[in-house]
């Protein structure tokens, strides 16, 4: 019995060290994605789809998935759940830590780009979202929205009557000039939702081979193909934290309603 307890304790320590090492790797990947991917969030280009930086970040988790699946499959859910939760918390901490430099300003295009990619991550990694990860994602979305509103308001105040840069989706103008100086949270959320509605499904299809492992693992091997497809579709549409976040905004101000994490 003592030997069994010793091996159990050793296993827990190995798991702890492995998860810690991979969490550090995820923080580096998240930093590269958010701060070192070549985009200036205060003057972001029109949204064209998911950036390569988002796919590269996902590949970091794909590599961890492959390692754990091959060597310790029963621990896959626990490890990936911890890493996904840590990833969202890392985004939150990076946003706060860089609020006076790299992320001091987020324009409307930058906001839409981030919201599209956050929903992309969420849709793919949904099977591994813990309750805490879901709450962190809502906080992150609220923090990004608040930063974008502040940035656009400051730009309008500093350039009264000037030509304000219009947020755009592709080659189309998304919000007219006369709305730029008084853009509301609802305006930005509607703009982000438009981008997501038009681009997310296409991007998921384009990168399905990059993320297939996450959906396949969570489903039973004995489940018929049609049932697996139905399950995946329902999970993406019904269990989406972003979907719940957007719906909650109709109840009041997104900025005021955002829960704060300390």
3-state helix, strand, coil in the chain (%, to 5): 75, 0, 25
Q: Find the mean pLDDT for residues 184-208.
A: 93
Compare 150 and 168 and report the one with higher pLDDT.
150
The model carries a pTM of 0.76
Task: Give the whole-number percent of the chain exceeding pLDDT 70.
Answer: 69
> Domain spans of the chain?
2-257
The neighbour count for residue 178, using CB atoms within 10 Å, is 8
Handedness of CA 183, 139, 54, 205 (dihedral sign): negative
Q: To the nearest whole number, what is the mean pLDDT of the chain?
A: 79
CA dist., res. 133 & res. 121, Å (int): 12
Confidence of residue 147 (pLDDT cuts 50, 70, 90): very high
* Tens of pLDDT, residues 108-129: 999 999 999 999 999 999 999 9
* Tens of pLDDT, residues 66-124: 999 999 999 999 999 999 999 999 999 999 999 988 899 999 999 999 999 999 999 99
pLDDT at 259 over 80: no
Confidence of residue 164 (pLDDT cuts 50, 70, 90): very low
pLDDT at 199 over 70: yes
Q: Find the mean pLDDT for residues 34-50.
A: 95
The position carrying tokens 């010793």 is 6
């Amino acid at each position: 019995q003592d030997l069994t307890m010793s091996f159990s304790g050793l296993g827990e320590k190995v798991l702890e060290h492995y998860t810690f090492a991979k969490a550090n790797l995820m923080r580096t990947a998240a930093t590269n994605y958010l701060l070192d991917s070549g985009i200036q969030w205060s003057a972001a280009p029109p949204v064209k789809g998911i950036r390569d930086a988002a796919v590269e970040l996902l590949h970091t988790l794909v590599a961890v998935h492959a390692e754990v699946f091959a060597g310790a499959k029963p621990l896959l859910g626990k490890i990936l759940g911890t890493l996904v939760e840590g990833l969202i918390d890392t985004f939150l901490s990076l946003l706060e830590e860089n609020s006076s430099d790299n992320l001091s300003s987020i324009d409307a295009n930058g906001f839409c780009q981030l919201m599209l990619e956050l929903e992309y991550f969420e849709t793919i990694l949904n099977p591994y979202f813990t309750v805490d990860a879901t709450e962190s994602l809502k906080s992150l979305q609220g923090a990004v929205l608040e930063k974008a509103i502040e940035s656009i308001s400051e730009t309008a105040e500093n350039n009264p009557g000037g030509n304000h840069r219009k947020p755009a989706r592709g080659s189309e103008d998304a919000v007219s000039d006369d709305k730029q100086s008084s853009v509301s949270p609802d305006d930005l959320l509607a703009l982000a939702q438009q981008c997501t509605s038009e681009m997310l499904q296409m991007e998921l299809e384009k990168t399905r081979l990059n993320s297939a492992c996450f959906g396949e693992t969570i489903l039973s091997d004995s489940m018929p193909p049609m049932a697996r497809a139905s399950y995946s579709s329902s999970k993406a549409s019904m269990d989406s934290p972003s979907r719940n976040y957007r719906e909650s905004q109709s109840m009041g101000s997104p900025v005021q309603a955002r829960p704060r994490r300390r």
